[in-house]
Structure 1
Amino acid sequence: MSRYLVTGADGFIGRHLVALLRSVEPHADVLTVGRHCKLDVRENCMDVFMAAGAVDYIFHLADVSGNAQWSAQHAVDQFFSNTKISTNVLEATAVHQRSARFIGVSSLWAYPSHVRLARESDYWTGPLVEATQHYGFNKKLIGVGLQACKQQYGQKGTVLVLGSTYGPGDRSDHVIPSLIQRMSDNQKSLEIWGNGYQRRDFTFVEDQVRSMYLHRDFDGPLLNISSGRTYSIRDVVSALVSTSQYGGEVRYQSDDPGEVDERALDISLATAYSGWPSIHKMHTLEEGIRLTLKGRQNHG
């Protein structure tokens, strides 16, 4: 019987990961660590990891996050909070959980700003997007800390890079939940910043956590595990409008192109390692949007 410890277990992705673990391994012991544990306080973090007893896997998802605008406006708070959480969790792992396999998570924000289709080999090849570099560098810190634990203590583990994850229960201000909220607030019109042609690798949360589970034993330092398929903002809006039967006018600020046209993760290494994503029946964008809206209707 496996024992799992999941930090950030009460967050959007964390809740879905915990549900998956309990579904695919009903006899596993899944220990959840939420916000109330205050992992940014070193003593709290040490106590949690010691009290857990020996675990087989640590999924470290806990962080303070938001969309790019929020991140830029709260740079200091986000930087110090996430740095404390990351260093505390890594130290607690090194002290109390050396036999556990550590799985950290990263994002496209940790890749250099010039990269459009990000390969793992690109990770350290240049500066990050300036407005959110404090967030991206913290994700890099997790990888560096894990490598130090491997070097000194023989720790096992990896860092998995996730796509732009969306799905039921996401109340953040990221693209898809933000669009849903704005459509709900204004039934007459929806104004989109940019021309809508920007493409991202939106990944439905159930597919994303399945990928995390399937790649939990990867031994390399970094692995991209998104859907491997990009969708434009216009694709997302079209799916939302048709699924929700939104009757308002959709207006794009076409005079402002918005963010860079396309940024995505190259998942060829994951494909070579496991066959991802063909080994799993992925949700289409339309299916994911439908389930996201259904979850919102059911839970308010």
Structure 2
Amino acid sequence: MNREWTGVKCIVTGGASFIGSHLVEELVRRRAKVTVIDDLSNGKMENLSTVRSLIDFSEGDLKSRDFALRSCTDGEVLFHLAADHGGRGYISTHPASCASNMALDNTVFDAAVQNGVKQIIFTSSACVYPTDIQEERQLLVEEMVDFNTRGGAFADEEYGWAKLMGELSLKAYNKQYGVGAVSCRLSTAYGPRESESHAIIALIAKAFIQQSPFEVWGNGEQSRGFTYVDDIVSGIILAAENITDGSAVNVGTSDYVTINQITEEVFKCFGWRPKEGLKHLNDRPVGVRHRALDGSFAQKRCGWTPKVSLEEGVRQTIEWYVENRDVDTVRAELENLLMMR
């Protein structure tokens, strides 16, 4: 169904973040009444510059029970995007930070229910899927994670386990309190406002400074279902409109695209190639070998399919990056940027 969002009171945790800010803009465009909650540890107020006068904003740490109870009020629908996360470099080197999401999620869910929120949309991750089935190219289907079967869960590092526990916790709140709920399993989102710790922005940054030899983590044959942020946002909203029973739904493309293919697309968009070629760094963290999502359930239940092609998405992302970054600054800070949130 297509919900009428005009006047709906929406709370967006992590709303100043990459995906969160795009979601806030779309909700505002649909005339929802939006409150953003963010501690700005990763999010930026500049991400909300186009809608700042049209939203309410509250800054604070949602792991604090008192703050969560005070801030998650006067909302009908809560989109929970706040999380401690980053790209593969960050996830691999900050396991305790990523594990803290378990405390964050439960605090937010409890505060929302106590304050009478009617529906919670949780941004989960494709990292919840068992890692051992991602050595070969097989599309990941929601049922591959099964809480009722022994051995039905084998998530990807601490970040994946935390997201999986968030899904389980949200289902518990749905069962006990009747709050509407859905978990959106996002897959390798990219687009404007994303940080250099994620694959596509990292490659764009290296081309932006004309790095040569051009460094690629791993052998470059690892593949992902890269999904443009506008498609991610539309999938989250459609999930909110159509699923309330606590189910999980994939929001990501089914196209396997390798890092080497992305690299070539970035070179093509810049009209540039490194004179010294590529340098593959096999000692850097790369995650699972292949990951892309089956979108059949999302299409059937929500009517969602991704619409932005990889070529168009990369082009738009590069345009944003070039307009908003300084070559000398990126060159000086790149190594740190690749490992940060």
Name the TM-score, length of structure 1 as normaliser: 0.89
CA distance in 1, matches of 2:95, 2:172: 26
User: Where do 5+ consecutive residues of structure 2 fail to align?
Assistant: 1-6, 40-58, 147-151, 326-341
**Number of residue pairs matched?**
287
The alpha carbon displacement at 1:172 in A equals: 4.0
Asked if the contact 1:196/1:252 (under 8 Å) is kept, the reply is no
**C-alpha spacing 1:250/1:40, structure 2 compared with 1 (3 Å):** farther
Match of 1:212 among 232, 236, 242: 236
RMSD: 2.1
CA distance in 1, matches of 2:321, 2:280: 28
User: Match of 1:65, as an amino acid?
Assistant: H
**Per the alignment, in what secondary structure is the counterpart of residue 21 of structure 1?**
helix
Asked if the contact 1:66/1:172 (under 8 Å) is kept, the reply is no
The alpha carbon displacement at 1:210 in A equals: 1.1
**Per the alignment, in what secondary structure is the counterpart of residue 240 of structure 2?**
coil
User: Match of 1:250, as an amino acid?
Assistant: G
Asked whether 1:90 is paired with 2:109, we answer yes
Asked whether 1:155 is paired with 2:187, we answer no
Asked whether 1:70 is paired with 2:90, we answer yes
Asked whether 1:295 is paired with 2:320, we answer yes
| Counterpart residue number, 2:273 | 247
| Counterpart residue number, 1:6 | 12
The alpha carbon displacement at 1:256 in A equals: 8.5
1:163-182 aligned at under 5 Å gives the runs: 163-182=187-206
The alpha carbon displacement at 1:144 in A equals: 1.7
CA distance in 1, matches of 2:93, 2:13: 25
User: Where do 5+ consecutive residues of structure 1 fail to align?
Assistant: none
CA distance in 2, matches of 1:259, 1:79: 17
| Counterpart residue number, 1:223 | 249
Asked if the contact 1:200/1:231 (under 8 Å) is kept, the reply is yes
Q: Percent identity?
A: 28
* 1:233-274 C-alpha deviation (Å, 9 max, x unpaired): 122111100101223143153989965442111111112223
User: Match of 2:106, as an amino acid?
Assistant: T
**C-alpha spacing 1:46/1:210, structure 2 compared with 1 (3 Å):** same
User: Match of 2:223, as an amino acid?
Assistant: R
Match of 1:101 among 103, 109, 119: 119
User: Match of 1:122, as an amino acid?
Assistant: M
The alpha carbon displacement at 1:230 in A equals: 2.4
**C-alpha spacing 1:6/1:196, structure 2 compared with 1 (3 Å):** same
Asked if the contact 1:194/1:252 (under 8 Å) is kept, the reply is no
The alpha carbon displacement at 1:184 in A equals: 2.8
Asked if the contact 2:226/2:257 (under 8 Å) is kept, the reply is yes
CA distance in 1, matches of 2:178, 2:324: 44
Match of 1:192 among 212, 216, 230: 216
**C-alpha spacing 1:41/1:255, structure 2 compared with 1 (3 Å):** closer
Asked whether 1:284 is paired with 2:290, we answer no
**Per the alignment, in what secondary structure is the counterpart of residue 315 of structure 2?**
helix
Match of 1:263 among 291, 295, 300: 291
**Per the alignment, in what secondary structure is the counterpart of residue 296 of structure 1?**
helix
Asked if the contact 1:187/1:247 (under 8 Å) is kept, the reply is no
Match of 1:32 among 36, 45, 61: 36
| Counterpart residue number, 2:80 | 60
CA distance in 2, matches of 1:255, 1:87: 37
| Counterpart residue number, 2:72 | 49
Asked if the contact 1:101/1:156 (under 8 Å) is kept, the reply is yes
